[in-house]
Amino acid sequence: MNLIPIIISGGCGSRLWPQSRALYPKQFLPLVNDQTMFQNTVARLDGLDAAGAPVVIANEDHRFLVAEQLRQMGRSAEAIILEPVGRNTAPAVALAALKALEQGDHQEESVLLVLAADHVIQDKKAFHRAVEAALPTTMEGKLVTFGIVPAHPETGYGYIKAGDKLIGNQGVADKTNEPESPAHDTSLTTIYSVTEFVEKPDQETAQDYLTSGDYYWNSGMFMFKASRYLEELKQFRPDILAACEKAMMVQNPDLDFIRLDEDAFRACPDDSIDYAVMEKTTDAVVVPLDAGWSDVGSWSSLADISEQDELGNSVQGDVLLQDTTNSYVRSEKKLIATVGVNDLVVVESDDAILVAHKDQVQDVKKVVESLKAAGRPEVNLHRKVCRPWGAYDAIDMGERFQVKRIMVKPGARLSLQKHYHRAEHWIVVKGTAMVEIDGKEVLLTENQSTYIPIGAVHRLENPGKFDLELIEVQSGGYLGEDDIERFEDTYGRA
> How many Å apart are CA 247 and CA 310, to the nearest integer?
54
Distances (CA, A) of 118 to 30, 115, 329, 480: 11, 9, 21, 32
Question: What is this structure's pTM?
Answer: 0.87
| pLDDT at residue number 20 | 95
Give the β-pairing of 433-437 and 458-461: antiparallel
| pLDDT at residue number 384 | 86
List the beta bridge partners of residue 427: 449, 471
Residues of the chain falling short of pLDDT 70: 103-108, 167-189, 494
| pLDDT at residue number 168 | 53
> How many Å apart are CA 303 and CA 262, to the nearest integer?
39
> How many Å apart are CA 136 and CA 380, to the nearest integer?
44
> How many Å apart are CA 428 and CA 444, to the nearest integer?
7
Q: Which residue spans within 12-155 are E strands per DSSP?
A: 55-59, 79-83, 110-116, 120-121, 143-148
Q: Which of 440, 442, 439 is nearest to 450 (CA)?
A: 442
Going by the DSSP 8-state scheme, the letter that residue 267 receives in this structure is T
Give per-residue pLDDT as tens, 277-286.
Answer: 999 999 999 9
> How many Å apart are CA 355 and CA 479, to the nearest integer?
31
Helix (H) or strand (E) holding 191: strand 191-198
List the beta bridge partners of residue 110: 2
On whether the CB atoms of residues 26 and 37 are closer than 8 A, the answer is yes
| pLDDT at residue number 171 | 39
Give the β-pairing of 2-9 and 55-59: parallel
Q: Can you list the pairs that 382-386 forms with residues at least 24 positions away whose Cβ atoms lie under 8 Å?
A: 382/21, 382/24, 382/349, 382/350, 382/351, 383/350, 383/351, 384/350, 385/23, 386/24, 386/64, 386/65, 386/68
On whether the CB atoms of residues 119 and 40 are closer than 8 A, the answer is no
List the beta bridge partners of residue 403: 396, 473
Instruction: Specify the 3-state DSSP secondary structure of 108.
Output: helix
Please give the torsion angle defined by the CA atoms of residues 369, 372, 376 and 377, in that order, rounded to the nearest 10 degrees.
Answer: 110
Q: Which domains does the chain have, with CATH numbers?
A: 2-294 (3.90.550.10), 299-368 (no CATH), 384-488 (2.60.120.10)
